[in-house]
Amino acid sequence: MAKFVFIGAGSLVFTKNLVRDLLTFPAFVDCTITLLDIDKDRLAYAKQTVDNIIAAGQYPAKVEATTDRVEALKGANGVICTLLAHDVDVWRTDLEIPMEYGVNINIGDTRGPAGIFRFLRTVPVMLEICRDIERYCPDAVFLNYTNPMAMLCRVMQSETNVKVTGLCHSVQGTAEMLAGWIGAPMGEITYRCAGINHQAFYLDFKWNGKDAYPLIREAVVNRPEIYNEEQVRNEMYLHLDYYVTESSGHNSEYNAWFRKRPDLIEKYCTHGTGWNPGLYAPGLQHRDNPALDWNKQLEEWRDSPIELKRGNEYASYIFNAVFGDQTLFEFNGNVRNFGLINNLPEGCCVEVPVLASKRGLSPMHVGPLPDQLALLVNTSARIEELAIEGALTGDRRKVFQAICFDPLTSAVLSLEEIKSMVDRMFEANKAYLPQFA
């Protein structure tokens, strides 16, 4: 009987979908699902949601809910993390302070000044979790969904002995989007994808063994509804020749091309049909607008119809491959770069194909990225490495210098302006960053 622990179970949509997927595997129908969250109200919603799934599927599974991490982790086989460290009062400053300086960030949870400060706040929590896993379930497989993915996974993998990788649904999600654009059944598509989290690229994308990139280019160039669905990513593809995995909203922040001037934001980051301007906005809106009832939203998610069909998130397939019925499963995961991508920094966190089996998680060698992609991705990877060094040593100077080279920030601000912005961000975060005391 397997035991799965959901850390941050109050992330209700993730919890609902991942529990549903787990219970579709025969090896896990009688598992124990332990829900952990520090927010008792959200935890109660999560418990009711999982109870509904178990009842709908008539599974013999057991569900527990607790705020005690030690008790939750004892005896776990698999651990899933979807937590958000701290609250809206601090993470809103990640976007609002840069905005005052003209750095227009859309989401800010992955890299750039906002992503780096989110990382600085979150990494102590993640290391505490890993230390508890080492003590109470050292053989567990730990799957992280918390952002900033690359920096957190890099630290957990270098500073602990936990069997951890990070997962992002953008790889399989974008592959399905591209297949839909060219009218291909997903079962006939194969691809090889590599880079770093949110900046991984499909190095090949094939339909029944034949290169499908010409069909994708034709769709992007000749069908306005497709171009407008992902304006930023489509511009990147048309000029860099490979398609990036993560959304236009995210990728508009990771380079200097789309958000450094108001006219570019208007042109590329406002009117696309698939554009989501500011994924952080709902949290701020619920904080600032009493008419928006967050509990009502949680109730709607909890009480929405139960779909028992397995989805395409990687987590349940990985667990099944490692300690379920041990069916091999290939996925794109976040691991350290030891000889995997030749022209990215050794030891940085990369997102590459990984094989899950009873042997565990085995990353696959990719080789070099095309030169134009390596230039873009190296910048992000090296910034992340410098920010990580600053976090581990408590060196504010290294954090500042990492942000100096962020492409969007450096396209907008001078070095002195960046220093002023970073100082203000440290001041706003001083209660959350004991490592810099």
As given in the structure block, the two tokens for residue 275 are 């554009």
Q: Which residues line the annotated binding site for substrate? A: 147
Q: Which residues line the annotated binding site? A: 147, 168, 198
> 32 has which bridge partners?
3, 62
CA–CA gap between residue 416 and residue 422 (Å, rounded): 10
Q: How far is CA 414 from the centre of its chain?
A: 30
Give the β-pairing of 189-196 and 199-207: antiparallel
From the list 86, 169, 239, 271, the catalytic residue is 169
As given in the structure block, the two tokens for residue 391 are 């976090």
Closest to 24 in 3D by CA, of 302, 315, 299: 315
Q: Which long-range contacts (CB under 8 A, 24 or more apart) does 323-327 make?
A: 323/2, 323/27, 323/77, 323/78, 323/141, 323/358, 324/2, 324/25, 324/27, 324/28, 325/25, 325/26, 325/27, 326/357, 326/358
Amino acid at 381: A
What φ, ψ does residue 248 adopt, rounded to 5°?
-60, -35
Q: In sequence order, what DSSP letters do the residues of 146-211 get, joined into one string? A: PSSHHHHHHHHHHH---EEEE--THHHHHHHHHHHHHT--GGGEEEEEEEETTEEEEEEEEETTEE
Report the largest interatomic distance among the alpha carbons of the chain, rounded to a whole angstrom.
62
The owner of tokens 């085995």 is 362
CA-to-CA dists, residue 234 to 243, 249, 317, 407, angstroms: 8, 12, 31, 19
Q: Which residues line the annotated binding site for Mn(2+)? A: 168, 198
CA–CA gap between residue 22 and residue 223 (Å, rounded): 39
Active-site residue, 169 included = yes
Which residues are identified as catalytic? 169
